[in-house]
Amino acid sequence: MFRRNLFAAPLLALPAAARAQGFDHTLRLILPFAPGGTSDIVARLLAPELTKRLGQSVVVENRTGGFGNIAIDAVAKAPPDGHTLLLTDTGILTTAPSLFRQLPFDINRDLVPVTMLIYAPYILAVHPAVPATDAMAFEAYVRANRDKVNIAHSGIGNANHLTSLLLAQHWGVELTMVPYRGGSAAVAATVGGEAQMVINGATATQPFVTGGQLRGIAVTGPKRLAALPALPTFTELRYPAPENGTWQGVLVPAGTPPALVAQLEAALRASLAVPAVQERLAAIGGEVRAEGAGPFRDWLARETVAWGAIIKANNIRLD
């Protein structure tokens, strides 16, 4: 019996140590998007790894609606004890202040960055019925059929909607842009033929391109995707917004003790370093970018200004 207890002690120590450091009940990863999108994929990859490192169960909650404001507000008003986390495409945090005259929260006042998680480029993809196999042919098709081209996106004012808008302006056309509740729904609509085109994160879109349900045309980001090397980058094509993409990050309520924020950052960084997690993310076009709270905060400030100018120039409001 002594020997059995001796061997069991290390297994019991991890949860006990985690509780002693302030984590004493289930943690919630709250997402503003529906299942199947990039945030959901990342959250469900990380939840079991975080459970191991924090000694408490980590559950994923999808709270859609309100441009993500429902989920963001829930986290902003949650107890600042490290047990409620917002995992999101951070683009909605940088556009919301310019899209709404009033918000039930202040991103800078009510939320604290923990770390960015990953970057994944956008893939510009089309339904296979579109008679164009490369960017030049698709541009010509769009100009000749502007009344027949619908662009699916994850919601008015989201970064992929604004990227689509900038691209249409670059082509000199006005196209019908149709909002859906999240990137996965926009991709599904394009696969189903409701829309002819989608610009969305590679993590949720690449499987449909490699599987032949969509046809890839181009990608954002600094380099071509390893899984789709024939697709040129926006930079190569001289398209606008070449560095846009889906940036996934984690924030917690303001007032969360710095020691807990640091523990969460370390746990997230360690989880992202697991080879199986990295392989899965790489396979779907994601790149780990866990640089910590400081760079994340600077990125939010910079992007909020940049997107605000674009939103103002196009007179986009949601209230």
2-119+245-313 CATH:
3.40.190.150
What is the percent of the chain with per-residue pLDDT over 90, rounded to a whole number?
Answer: 83
Residue 108 burial (CB < 10 Å; 0-12/13-18/19+)? middle
Distance CA 5, CA 247 (A): 45
Q: Where are the domains of the chain?
A: 2-119+245-313, 121-237
Question: What's domain 121-237's architecture?
Answer: 3-Layer(aba) Sandwich (3.40)
Rounded-to-10 torsion of CA 90, 272, 275, 226: 20
Greater model confidence, 3 or 153: 153
- Residue 36 confidence (pLDDT): 87
pLDDT tens-digit series, residues 8-48: 444 444 443 444 378 999 999 999 988 988 899 999 999 99
Does the pLDDT at position 71 exceed 50? yes
- Cα–Cα distances (Å) from 262 to 76, 150, 245, 292, in that order, read 18, 44, 27, 9
Instruction: Provide mean pLDDT across the span 117-129.
Output: 97
* pTM, to two decimals: 0.86
Distance CA 305, CA 308 (A): 5
Average pLDDT, the chain: 91
Instruction: Provide mean pLDDT across the span 183-209.
Output: 95
pLDDT tens-digit series, residues 144-177: 998 889 999 988 899 999 999 999 999 999 999 9
- Cα–Cα distances (Å) from 3 to 9, 13, 49, in that order, read 10, 16, 29
Does the pLDDT at position 268 exceed 60? yes
Domains 2-119+245-313 and 121-237 share a fold: yes
Strands 197-201, 27-31: pairing is unpaired
Instruction: Provide mean pLDDT across the span 52-71.
Output: 94
Residue type for position 205 = T
- Residue 248 confidence (pLDDT): 96
End-to-end CA distance of the chain: 67
- Tokens 């196999």 correspond to 133
Does the pLDDT at position 302 exceed 50? yes
Does the pLDDT at position 7 exceed 50? no
pLDDT tens-digit series, residues 203-258: 999 999 999 999 999 999 999 999 999 999 999 999 999 999 999 999 999 999 99
Least confident of 11-15, 255-259, 280-284, 301-305: 11-15
